[in-house]
A and B are shown apart, each in its own frame.
Chain A
Amino acid sequence: MTVLTQIFVYLAAAVVSGPAAKRLGLGSVLGYLVAGVVIGPHVLKLVGAIEDVRRASEFGVVILLFLIGLELRPALLWNLRRAIFGLGLAQMLAVGAALAAGAVVLGLTGREAIATGLILALSSTAIVLQLLDEKGLRRGPVGLAVFGVLLFQDLAVIPLLAFLPLLAVGGAAAVHDAEAAAHGINLIGDWPAWAQGLAVLGAVLALVVGGRYLTQPVFRYIARAGLREAFTAFALLLVVGAALLMQLVGMSPALGAFLAGVVLAESEFRRELETDIEPFRGLLLGLFFITVGAGLNVPLVLSRPVDLALVVLGVMALKGLVMFGLGLLFRGPWRDAGTAAVALAQGGEFAFVLLSFAVTAHVLGADLAALLTAAVALSMAATPVALTAWEQLARTPARAGAEPVNAFEEETPDALVIGFGRFGQIVGRVLTANGFTTSVLENSVEQIELLRRFGRRVYYGDGARLDLLRAAGAERAKVIVVAVGDKDKATEIVEIARETFPHLKVLARAFDRRHAYELLDKGAHIVERETFEGGLAMAAETLRGLGWRAYRAERAARLFRLHDERMFEQLRPLWGDEERFAIASRESSPRMDDLLRSDLERAVTHTEGESEEEAKGPDPGAFGC
């Protein structure tokens, strides 16, 4: 089978199954899994080397962890420590022990039971996070707790790889075999423990320092060149690099990517990174689920259906119940604890790796491992169904109104400010000073640099890109301020914003009157000519410079504004027609004089009336003198 056929089959499976499953309310994950079974070696036999494809697609998990890292600034990560090291450790130990006990009851030896328990205690980061994301739960309290557990499990995989061979019956030889299998490209496997520890520390340090100080100049360099594909390439390079570095020192690649994400969470290029990498995550994870489906040992399932069903149900029930108990113990409401428990009840992708590793290490027999592998895959497939069922069961009307606690830095800005130059800055500062949150996009690297020195956080990106607008929070914001200096760009952004986010109130900076009409035509709610207020303020100051008192000058300027606003509305229908527009504007100037004169008269009667007015008697509205 050629590479092209393979790609075609996988993509077609993804296109057909994902949306269909989602439409049925089952979540895309289940769709991909089923599609995998269908195209797999036991049904349609459309795919070849599943293992290779799966190994490649596991990179989707790495990217996923990177993206999650991007959302978590170090300070927020610190807030999660209880979920990671408290709940995470508790889950691993309690669930592992429960599963091991269950395995002993089923007749496994103590060593086999411990290995099985620990391996099956792991859950699937890819499936759980994807599901929670689709259900909009990932950023709430459930999502946080679950994420903490998953992150801990991810950390635990490496120690597990070291621990499993110790359970082997064969002794030292087995341990050696297993280490050779486990470490793959680990360069420092033969080093003494302290040196390994130092190497890991060094790698983490390199990641943090490199991420913080070396990436910025490169990003800026690429941004100046304006090459989008170079940006994407560099983003992927970062993820791969971080993963590779961690792998070299024997840590999990996903952990490396996660750390890289956390380091870059502070970067102004974060949004661009997120947006560029997102599609790869989606595609690779989809591919990963398909390969899991394709790897399902269908004959085994068909030959021992009852055994398998019991194992799957038993594992999920045990994992779910213990996790539910832990959730309550950690003071979660029962509904959230239940959601977390059901979400984490399946076996994880690392179980596949660890199970085959356990066979190499002579800890588990090949038959048992095959059975467990099938059980893990089936439990993955059962998760979307179980979660939907649980949601139906636990649904109460009151829940709809409850806002989830927002510990992830999800942007829910009040206002989007696009363009943060001389104009947008003023808008942004006034909004911020009055307690509103803003999300800012700016596409000049120099400008971002400058603002950074003043301690303002601004993200790099082109405001006319729909995906970036979305990442900046356009779906949740109330207003968008289009403050870019480029006329055509402003018009384009107004158009996009009106089309895609009809709930947004659109305020736009206009270059001149003509542009203002154009923006209104495209649906902008409010337009402001960029030089109008400045010119008016200067006019008032000039009047003062010529000897007028401040209040008189101020009123003159305000009256002009009033007149101009009226004219702006009146002339709007004519704006395409140069000739008529010019005539109409000329005709409007006597009306302007009239307006100014009547205001002047007001001031006069109020103050100067004495001599003439005395004859007519007193004037209560103009007593002054």
Chain B
Amino acid sequence: MPGQDDTARTLLVLAHPALERARMNPALADAAQALPGVTLRDLYELYPDFTVDVRTEQKLLLEHDLIVLQFPLFWYSAPSLLKEWIDAVWLKGFAYGPRGVALRGKTLLCVISTSASAADFTPEGDYRFSLTEFLRPFEQTARYCGLKWAEPFVVFGEDAAGDDGLRRNAEAYRDRLSELAAQIARTLPTDG
């Protein structure tokens, strides 16, 4: 579906079980929502009992060009509700398999926040592997369903310190989103 006002439409899927206690994720979400054409899906607020409304979520996916998954890293992966959202919504016949072409050509961007530092994600660091490695399941999921994989947007612990850190990251995030959206809009067919 072509975007309006020459910009791509963005679906921001946010998964944070305790947003009320977090600093970085609310700031990022606020920055994203200031942009035009952004729809926020706050999963833990929408589905506190984990019963995801599949029809609604699929319809929203169809209506957007850029899919953003924003979450804090828990145990090298996403909070469980985001996984449930993927499991329940990205179904055969919709996201993959015969006639499963709904997501083809869209772009997937992962936005990760972590209190760990960049150094932890090196062969010498405590976590031994890079974030690129930890995010392979998401990357492969995207490619398998025909989505373009955008370079993830990551905020490490040392980047988030202080109000200054918050503001800088929020701005960088906003720029990244609008740049991606504009880029996608250029490739979309225009209908006058």
Contacts and interface: CB of A to CB of B under 8 A. Distances in A.
Contacts of A608: 21-22
Contacts of B48: 540, 549-551, 553-555
Interface in B1-47: 16-25, 44-46
B146 interface: no
Nearest to B166: A625
Contacts of A614: 115, 157
A623 B44 contact: no
B163 to A, nearest CB: 14
A618 B120 contact: yes
B115 A610 contact: yes
A608 B22 CA distance: 6
Contact of B115 (A540, A555, A603, A618): A618
Contact of B113 (A548, A552, A555, A625): A625
A550 B45 contact: yes
A53 interface: no
Interface string A535-575: 00000100000001111111100000000000000000000
Nearest to A608: B21
A607 interface: yes
A556 to B, nearest CB: 10
Contact of B22 (A548, A553, A625): A625
A617 interface: yes
A621 B72 CA distance: 10
A619 B20 contact: no
Contact of B45 (A549, A607, A609, A624): A549
A624 B160 contact: no
Contacts of B22: 607-608, 624-625
B116 A623 contact: yes
Contacts of A617: 126
B131 to A, nearest CB: 11
B76 A625 contact: no
Nearest to B49: A554
A622 interface: yes
A127 to B, nearest CB: 58
- Categorize the interface residue count of chain A: 20 to 34
A537 to B, nearest CB: 10
A486 interface: no
A604 B115 contact: no
B140 interface: no
A621 B113 CA distance: 13
B127 interface: yes
Contact of A613 (B19, B76, B115): B115
Contact of A550 (B23, B46, B127): B46
B21 A604 contact: yes
Interface in B69-90: 71-76, 79, 81
Contacts of B17: 551, 603, 606
Most B CB atoms within 10 A — which of A548, A551, A617? Answer: A551
B92 to A, nearest CB: 22
Given A625-B114, A625-B157, A620 B21 contact: no
A623 B81 CA distance: 16
Contact of B75 (A550, A555, A620): A620
Contacts of A618: 115-117, 120, 126-127, 157
A549 B115 contact: no
Contact of A607 (B21, B120, B160): B21
Interface string A239-283: 000000000000000000000000000000000000000000000
B20 A606 contact: no
A554 B81 CA distance: 14
Given A551-B45, A614-B157, A618-B117, A625 B25 contact: yes
B46 A603 contact: no
B164 to A, nearest CB: 15
Contacts of B126: 617-618
Given A549-B44, A607-B72, A610-B160, A623 B115 contact: yes
Contact of A622 (B71, B115, B117): B115
A620 B115 CA distance: 9
Given A549-B18, A551-B44, A624 B114 contact: yes
Interface in B102-134: 113-117, 120, 126-127
Contacts of B45: 549-551
A607 B46 CA distance: 20
Contact of A549 (B19, B73, B157): B19
Interface in A567-625: 603-604, 606-610, 613-614, 617-625
A506 B20 CA distance: 44
Contact of A624 (B20, B81, B113, B117): B113
15 contacts: A551-B17, A551-B44, A555-B48, A607-B21, A607-B22, A608-B22, A610-B23, A610-B115, A617-B126, A618-B116, A621-B75, A624-B25, A625-B22, A625-B24, A625-B113
Given A614-B115, A625-B155, 8 more contacts: A549-B44, A549-B45, A551-B44, A551-B48, A554-B49, A621-B74, A623-B115, A625-B23
Report the 10 A-B pairs with minimum CB-CB distance, sorted nearest first. Answer: A624-B72, A554-B48, A550-B48, A618-B116, A551-B44, A623-B73, A623-B114, A551-B48, A607-B21, A625-B24
